[in-house]
Amino acid sequence: MSDLRQPTRLPGDAAGGQSFADPYPYGGPVVSTGRRGSHATMRGQGFSWVLGWTIAGSLLPGTGLLAAGWRRVGGFLLGLSGAGLLALAWLALDGHPLDRLQSLVVDPERLTAITVAIGVIASLWVGSILLTHTQLRRYAALSSGQKMFSGVVVTALVAAVAMPAYQAGRYALIGRDLVDTVFRDSVDAETSTALNDTGEADPWAGTPRVNVLLIGSDAGADRIGIRPDTMIVASTDTHSGNTVLFSLPRNLENVPFPLGTPGNSAWPDGFNCGDECLLNAIWTWAEGPGSGYERFRNPGLAATEDAIEGATGLKIDTYAMLNLKGFAEFVNAIGGLSVNVRERLPIGGDSDPSSPVYHVATGGWIETGEKQHLDGYHALWFARSRWSSDDYSRMQRQRCVIGAFVDQVDPVTVALQFPKLAKAAKHNITTGIPLRDLDAWVELSKRVQGGKVTSLPFTREVVNVAYPDFDKVHRLVERAIGSSERSTPGDSDRPAKPAAPQANPNKAQDVRAVC
Q: What is the pLDDT of residue 492?
A: 47
Q: What is the pLDDT of residue 435?
A: 86
Highest mean predicted confidence (pLDDT) among 17-21, 23-27, 257-261:
257-261
Q: Answer yes or no: is 21 within a domain.
A: no
Distance CA 102, CA 71 (A): 39
- Give yes or no for residue 307 having a pLDDT over 70: yes
Residue with the larger pLDDT of the pair 217 and 83: 83
Q: Answer yes or no: is 29 within a domain.
A: no
Q: What is the pLDDT of residue 34?
A: 44
Q: Compute how many other C-beta atoms are within 10 angstroms of the C-beta atom of residue 494.
A: 10
| Cα distances (Å, whole numbers) of residue 67 to 77, 125, 142, 511 | 13, 17, 18, 63
Of 34-48, 109-123, 276-290, 310-324, the least confident: 34-48
Q: What is the pLDDT of residue 236?
A: 96
* Residues 109-119, mean pLDDT to the nearest whole number: 89
Q: What is the pLDDT of residue 133?
A: 93
Q: Are residues 475 and 339 in the same domain?
A: yes
> What pLDDT band is residue 303 in, cutting at 50, 70 and 90?
very high
pLDDT digits over 126-148, tens only?
999 999 999 999 888 888 999 99
314 φ/ψ sector (left φ>0, alpha ψ -120 to 50, else beta): beta
Q: Are residues 276 and 160 in the same domain?
A: no
508 contacts: CB under 8 Å, gap ≥ 6: 244, 454, 455, 456, 480, 483, 484
Q: Answer yes or no: is 363 within a domain.
A: yes
Distance CA 500, CA 164 (A): 51
Q: What is the pLDDT of residue 216?
A: 86
Q: Are residues 422 and 481 in the same domain?
A: yes
Q: Are residues 247 and 116 in the same domain?
A: no
Q: Are residues 129 and 254 in the same domain?
A: no
Q: What is the pLDDT of residue 22?
A: 42
Residue with the larger pLDDT of the pair 454 and 502: 454
Q: What is the pLDDT of residue 484?
A: 87
Backbone angles phi, psi at 334, to 5 degrees: -90, 5
- Give yes or no for residue 231 having a pLDDT over 50: yes
Q: What is the pLDDT of residue 488?
A: 66
The residues facing 234 across adjacent strands are: 212, 245
> What pLDDT band is residue 55 in, cutting at 50, 70 and 90?
very high
Q: Answer yes or no: is 122 within a domain.
A: yes
Residue with the larger pLDDT of the pair 104 and 5: 104
> What pLDDT band is residue 149 in, cutting at 50, 70 and 90?
very high
Q: Are residues 219 and 141 in the same domain?
A: no
* Residues 429-440, mean pLDDT to the nearest whole number: 88
Q: Which helix (H) or strand (E) holds 191?
A: none
Q: Answer yes or no: is 171 within a domain.
A: yes
* Residues 238-263, mean pLDDT to the nearest whole number: 93
Across the chain, mean pLDDT equals 80
Residue with the larger pLDDT of the pair 219 and 292: 292
* Residues 188-206, mean pLDDT to the nearest whole number: 79
pLDDT digits over 86-107, tens only?
887 877 676 566 666 666 677 7
Q: Are residues 67 and 113 in the same domain?
A: yes
pLDDT digits over 391-408, tens only?
667 777 887 887 788 777
CA atoms within 13 Å, Cβ hemisphere of 301: 23
Q: What is the pLDDT of residue 23?
A: 41
> What pLDDT band is residue 273 in, cutting at 50, 70 and 90?
confident
Last residue in a domain, options 182, 201, 228:
182
Q: What is the pLDDT of residue 232?
A: 92
> What pLDDT band is residue 342 in, cutting at 50, 70 and 90?
confident
Q: What is the pLDDT of residue 101?
A: 65
DSSP code of residue 210: E
Residue with the larger pLDDT of the pair 258 and 513: 258
DSSP code of residue 492: G
* Residues 109-115, mean pLDDT to the nearest whole number: 87
* Residues 190-203, mean pLDDT to the nearest whole number: 77
Nearest to 270 by CA among 285, 256, 251: 256
Q: What is the pLDDT of residue 422?
A: 86
> What pLDDT band is residue 190 in, cutting at 50, 70 and 90?
confident
pLDDT digits over 487-502, tens only?
765 554 444 444 444 4
Q: Are residues 372 and 236 in the same domain?
A: yes
- Give yes or no for residue 12 having a pLDDT over 60: no
- Give yes or no for residue 182 having a pLDDT over 50: yes
Q: Are residues 390 and 258 in the same domain?
A: yes
Q: Are residues 178 and 215 in the same domain?
A: no
Q: Compute how many other C-beta atoms are within 10 angstroms of the C-beta atom of residue 395.
A: 25
Whichever domain contains 220, its CATH number is 3.40.630.190
pLDDT digits over 199-223, tens only?
667 889 888 999 999 998 865 544 4
Q: Answer yes or no: is 19 within a domain.
A: no
- Give yes or no for residue 62 having a pLDDT over 60: yes
Q: What is the pLDDT of residue 489?
A: 56
Q: Compute how many other C-beta atoms are within 10 angstroms of the C-beta atom of residue 495.
A: 7
Q: Are residues 165 and 224 in the same domain?
A: no
- Give yes or no for residue 10 having a pLDDT over 50: no
Q: Compute how many other C-beta atoms are within 10 angstroms of the C-beta atom of residue 333.
A: 22
pTM of the model: 0.74
- The total of structural domains in the chain comes to 2
* Residues 29-54, mean pLDDT to the nearest whole number: 61
Q: What is the pLDDT of residue 428?
A: 85
- Give yes or no for residue 31 having a pLDDT over 50: no
**Domain encompassing residue 110:** 39-182
> What pLDDT band is residue 20 in, cutting at 50, 70 and 90?
very low
Q: Are residues 167 and 223 in the same domain?
A: no
Q: Answer yes or no: is 246 within a domain.
A: yes
Q: Answer yes or no: is 447 within a domain.
A: yes
